[in-house]
C-alpha cells in the first residue's frame, strides 16, 4: 500500500473535547477504538489531558481515508482537531528542494 507522504510513516494526533452529556459513551468508544481500530490503523497511544482538550489519540494510518474513518467515529461524542505529524527523518529527502530547508544547511 502506497503511503501518502513519501515512503515514511505518517502519524496523526487527534485532540478531543468530549461532549459533557456523552462522556460515558466517549469512554466506551475510545476503549473500543483502542482495542479494535479500523483496518490499517495502528494506535500509538491514548492519553487524558488537563487543559484545553480532554484527550489525545495518536495513531498511524496508511491513507488519509483511513485516518478520516477513525476521526469520524470520534465526532459522535465530541469535537476533535486532528494534526498530521511526519517524522523529520522520513521527510528530509522531500524537503531538500525547499528554500527554507536549504538555508538550514548554512546554519
| Fold adopted by 11-104 | Alpha-Beta Plaits (3.30.70)
Residues 86, 76 contacting (CB under 8 angstroms): no
User: Which cell is 42 given?
Assistant: 495502528
pLDDT band for position 2 (50/70/90)? Answer: very low
Neighbours of 68 (CB within 10 A): 14
Per domain, the residue ranges of the chain are 11-104
DSSP assignment letter at 70: H
What are 44-68's pLDDT values in tens digits? Answer: 999 999 999 999 999 999 888 888 8
pTM for the predicted model, two decimal places? 0.75
Residues 55, 47 contacting (CB under 8 angstroms): yes
DSSP assignment letter at 1: -
Residues 38, 44 contacting (CB under 8 angstroms): no
Amino acid at each position: 500500500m502506497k503511503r501518502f507522504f513519501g515512503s515514511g510513516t505518517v502519524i496523526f494526533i487527534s485532540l478531543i473535547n468530549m461532549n459533557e452529556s456523552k462522556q460515558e459513551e466517549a469512554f466506551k468508544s475510545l476503549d473500543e477504538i483502542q482495542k479494535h481500530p479500523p483496518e490499517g490503523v495502528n494506535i500509538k497511544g491514548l492519553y487524558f489531558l488537563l487543559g484545553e482538550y480532554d484527550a489525545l489519540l495518536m495513531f498511524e494510518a496508511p491513507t488519509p481515508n483511513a485516518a478520516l474513518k477513525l476521526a469520524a467515529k470520534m465526532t459522535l461524542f465530541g469535537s476533535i482537531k486532528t494534526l498530521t505529524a511526519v517524522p523529520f527523518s522520513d521527510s528530509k529527502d522531500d524537503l531538500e528542494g525547499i528554500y527554507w530547508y536549504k538555508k538550514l544547511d548554512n546554519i
